[in-house]
């Protein structure tokens, strides 16, 4: 017996809204989600963006592709992206 992915915050929540969470496509996407996440993370690692921004984007990808996730999971990427925005990016402080 196949078990359908539960409600989440990303793609699977949209499928659940349409009533297609137990379809073959949804189950295939749930099986391929870790590989998709790995591919996106490997692509992100090659970017010269700030590390906190990369971590925030990678965690958002994980949340979007997760078959089940709680709404509180969004806090981590928001904090990481906020810290990345506040980071001066290696700009030297002006001397008096």
Residue 5, SS3 per DSSP: coil
d(C-alpha 46, C-alpha 49), whole Å = 9
C-alpha angle 73/31/53, rounded to 5°?
Answer: 40
pLDDT of 95:
46
- Mean pLDDT in runs of 10 for the chain (96 residues)? 62 79 81 92 92 93 85 91 80 49
C-alpha angle 62/5/12, rounded to 5°?
Answer: 55
d(C-alpha 22, C-alpha 82), whole Å = 36
pLDDT of 90:
47
CB atoms within 10 A of CB 77: 18
């Amino acid at each position: 017996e196949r078990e359908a992915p539960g409600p989440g915050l990303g793609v699977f929540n949209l499928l659940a809204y349409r009533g297609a969470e137990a379809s073959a496509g949804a189950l295939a996407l749930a099986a391929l989600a870790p590989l998709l996440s790995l591919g996106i993370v490997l692509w992100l690692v090659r970017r010269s963006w700030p590390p906190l921004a990369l971590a925030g984007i990678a965690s958002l990808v994980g949340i979007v592709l997760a078959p089940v996730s709680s709404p509180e999971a969004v806090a981590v990427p928001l904090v990481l992206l906020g810290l990345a925005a506040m980071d001066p990016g290696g700009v030297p402080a002006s001397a008096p």
